[in-house]
Chain A
Amino acid sequence: MTAATLHDAHPPAPAHHGTARRLLLGPGWIRAAWMFCLFSAIGFGLVVGLRAAAGWHPILDTQIITLVSLLVCGPIGFLAGIGCFDYWVYYALGFPTRPEDHSGHGARSWKDYFRVNTDHKVIGVQYLVTTMVFFIIGGMLAMLVRAELARPGIQFFDPQTFNGLFSVHASLMIFLFIIPAFAGLANFVVPLMLGAADMAFPRLNALSFWLLPIAGVMMVASFLVPGGAFACGWTGYVPLCSTHQPLGAVFFNQAVQWAGASSIMTALNFLVTIITMRAPGMTFWRLPLLVWANFTTSLLVVIATPFIAGSQFFSMFDHVMHTAFFETAKGGYPLGYQHIFWFYSHPAVYIMMLPGFGIMSEVISVFSRKPIFGYRLMALSLMAIVVLGFSVWAHHMFVSGMASWLRVPMMITTLLIAVPTGIKIFSWLATMWDGKLHFNTPMLFALGFLSMFVIGGLSGVMLGAVPVDIHMNQTYFVVAHIHYVLFGGSVFTIFAGIYYWFPKMTGRMYDERLGKLHFWLTFVGFNLTFFPMHILGTEGMPRRVVDYAPKFADLNMFISLASFALGASTIVFLYNAITSWRSGEKAPSNPWHAMTLEWQVSSPPPVFNFDEIPQVVGSPYGYGIPGAQHAILAPSHVPEEAAVT
């Protein structure tokens, strides 16, 4: 069966269903709206009923009601209404189901992007557009933070709002932009690169995506809660975040759970897909490095993410149920939170880096027209980062008051991670050596990444040395460091990836001139904004302050102005993306002359990717070798005799 015939296999709409009834009861936004209300009401009833029955006063406890009804039950109703559970519910209730039902697969109009879709390519685009929306919101919050910090003293925001601004900014950028944007790119690309028709669990894949807007809306909505948004930083240290915060803190605790669940499901999906759905001949040593990167990232996600879930549950229980996991006065241990939190959140740094490393390997190899230098060591260094990544968490806690003997071992493992990271940087440099470099926008972002990530990596080595960290910890030096790693590192690679696969995703070319303009504005704006923060930090300006000593005024004004320029550079990107998507030049199937499998099918690819499963015969990076092939597509078209001889 070809893609086209599968594609047309719609279930015939039952005749007795009226249009109005289908609108109300069929999966979609209308059902999502009323089911959200229904489930919220059930949650409300549950809390009030139980409290009344047990005689707990007050019966109308706003905190518990908000948590159970709006943050737990309501979102489940939304997911059920939009249609994430339809198949499973039908199956569980014994109704007839059609495992080969492809009606929710592929996009035929823009409306198909707004419903539950099981096509990994649609889901990839859904992820990327959603994360872009939260990137813009998060960026605007950062602009507001910089507006307040342009001058010393308190200008525009009271401290509660200000603390909320930077807390929500960081949470959105981490949980709703960088992590899921990589998941979106990988969702689109990995099955294609493997020669597979889709992910291993397409329905689970759809569910993972729809958890994401819930988490994002929850974080932004915390600004509307009485008392203000959560205002204890994205790290949510206790006891400040558990017992000294308004209701907004619970929105953070709970949003992290939704985003974390999404992350774990996607990672499981990637692992199973990569292990079981590789095309014939696609051995592990023939995997493109992007696939390796997502394989290792997924290992990190499934092992580490439950820890942040635990930390947020305990913190929330302390807040709403008056437990004492972290309350010193009642026998709790505040540093316990930090250990559990960083046991996820340090590996999370690599969850936000490794997929970018994968994108870099693809882009640098293709635009240098050379094979990746030291392919196996590149893959092995990813694994080394995974293993070492789990042994460094306490380097965030050098001054926390934890057992002081723990500092030197954690410093050693932290510094050791620089070795596999260095191997990757040097190998990329060697890949470019003697190549034929083409400076298209993806390559510019790749070079921007290389130079900026080196700075972030080196300031990371500085912070890894305990005495330096004791001075720099919690200052603007750390703010500069994380932005060099997460912006100069992750965001540059995300942009490289978006430009690189834009023709494949949309079937149209982006505007190269605007792409280059976007790169230069971002690159210059980024450095002007974040480099001076190193100086502020070493001089002694703490992070997360609404007000600062007057001697820091000039640099802060400079940083604020630069940050507005950096923010404005995104407009160029948005304009380019939107206009090119609508009316850009039609993209050929392989505009970059790349060897990996996604470029061997049309742009955009057919609904089921490949008419026939490809046969993989060689390295994905055989540039410069005459006649080298990564895969043979549609082997059925090769005459039988030719295959024998």
Chain B
Amino acid sequence: MRKGQILSLVGIGVVAGGIATAVAVVPTWLPTRASVEAGRIDDVIWMTIIISIVIFSVVGGVIVYEVIRFRARPGDDSDGPPVHGHTGLEITWTLIPLGIVTAIAIFSAIVLSRNGNAGVDPLRVDVIAQQYSWTFAYPDAHGLTSSVLRLPKGRSVVLTITSKDVIHSFWVPNFGQKQDAVPGLHPTLHITPDRLGTFPVVCVELCGLGHALMRSEAIVMTPTAFDKWLKSQQTAVTSPSASVSGAAVFKNNGCGACHTLTAAATTGKIGPDLDKLPQWAAQAKQPLESFVKTSIVDPNAYVQPGFPKNVMPGTFASLPPQQLDALVQYLISSSKKG
């Protein structure tokens, strides 16, 4: 190879690398990071992106160079030189990628192991997924549950994740960490939030018709605000006279992902419109209250014409009686208004 050839080859490679780097740097790729673990994940992402840019520039640069330099002139029907191989080159391009992937594997294994460490005195949270809602329980706070994940900043958290029906997957893009929720399994996930704010919780494993709407929020609070919230909620749970709000039960169980209910400002269209419950009950020739209750605990007993069977989850049969009654009363009063 002559010096001029090497120069133009390197030049094309640099241009290709520049374009690839611009693509990597100019758009915002990653969401704002809000956990220590996400920071470590980002390190691996950037490491692999840099390696990718280098390899892409080499391959892309060589292709462009070859296309320009070695194109057959019109009418040239001759063959190229009969080169069959070069052992040294072949060993080189076996060993260099081997070294690169070994480096990626070692770095990844270290990050994986560090992200799997919960640290001292972690906060324990149980994440329970069901079609199509999230429930977050705080076992150290006397069974306090919430439909929104609230976490204190700076304290390591161990999430124990499971599902009541099908496979879901818990992900907060800003936290980086992700874990499938599998019925019967209780895998854990470690997160140490390091940024205050409200972040989306999404289900990322197809779990049925309401999958796209199975969303919630993760709110990272200052430790004092978190303790205050915990106390206020505990009083509510432990006080015997606490009235259960039907609206809260409706929201916590994700009913709105499938059903329209004006009072709760939901517009789901997978299941029947709950604003018209009195009408549906009349059609089914059942008294309104027992119709609503049966439809929640045993959805296949009567299926609204025009809707398929087996779509409404059967998991609501396990709602505590107090919550169930509150929900039924809430639906009846809301639908009569609507």
Contacts and interface: CB of A to CB of B under 8 A. Distances in A.
A298 B55 CA distance: 31
Nearest to A532: B27
Nearest to B111: A467
B41 interface: yes
Given A158-B269, A370-B80, A461 B66 contact: no
Contact of B44 (A333, A467, A622, A625): A467
Contact of A418 (B31, B83, B101, B182): B101
B327 interface: no
Contacts of B173: 471, 539-540
A423 B171 CA distance: 37
Nearest to B213: A547
B242 interface: no
Nearest to A228: B308
Contact of A401 (B82, B185, B310): B185
Contact of B185 (A246, A335, A451): A335
Contacts of A462: 45, 48-49, 52
Contact of A368 (B80, B86, B93, B187): B80
A466 B108 CA distance: 6
Interface in B182-214: 182-185, 187, 200, 202-213
Interface residues of B, number: 91
B273 to A, nearest CB: 14
B99 to A, nearest CB: 10
Interface residues of A, number: 97
Contacts of B38: 471
Contact of B206 (A233, A458, A534, A538): A233
B59 A624 contact: no
21 contacts: A158-B270, A159-B212, A226-B308, A227-B308, A231-B209, A239-B167, A371-B82, A377-B90, A419-B94, A426-B89, A429-B66, A435-B66, A437-B71, A458-B52, A462-B45, A462-B49, A467-B45, A470-B178, A542-B204, A543-B204, A546-B211
B93 A547 contact: no
Given A401-B161, A468-B44, 7 more contacts: A373-B85, A438-B72, A461-B101, A538-B29, A540-B171, A540-B173, A624-B79
A370 B205 contact: no
A101 B334 CA distance: 78
B29 A535 contact: yes
B101 A425 contact: no
A320 B249 CA distance: 34
A85 interface: no
Interface class of chain B by DSSP: mixed
A240 B203 contact: no
A159 B182 CA distance: 22
Nearest to A619: B84
Contacts of B76: 436
Nearest to B47: A465
A237 B76 CA distance: 56
B200 A404 contact: no
A594 to B, nearest CB: 12
B83 A371 contact: yes
Per CB-CB distance, the 8 closest pairs between chain A and chain B, nearest first, are: A540-B173, A328-B184, A545-B212, A624-B82, A624-B79, A435-B80, A415-B101, A370-B80
Interface string A624-637: 11001000000000
A125 interface: no
Contacts of A415: 101-102, 104-105
Interface of A: 154, 158-160, 163, 226-228, 231-233, 237-240, 244-246, 328-329, 333-335, 368-371, 373-377, 399-401, 404, 407-408, 411-412, 415-416, 418-419, 422-423, 425-427, 429-430, 432-439, 447, 450-451, 454-455, 458-459, 461-462, 464-468, 470-471, 473-475, 534-535, 538-540, 542-549, 593, 622-625, 628
A539 to B, nearest CB: 6
Q: Which of B90, B180, B206: most chain A Cβ within 10 A?
A: B206
A165 to B, nearest CB: 13
Contacts of A549: 200
B176 interface: yes
Nearest to A450: B63
B25 interface: no
A239 B168 CA distance: 11
A370 B56 CA distance: 24
Contacts of B174: 540
Contacts of A329: 183-184
Interface in B148-165: 161, 165
Contacts of A434: 70, 80-81, 83
B81 to A, nearest CB: 6
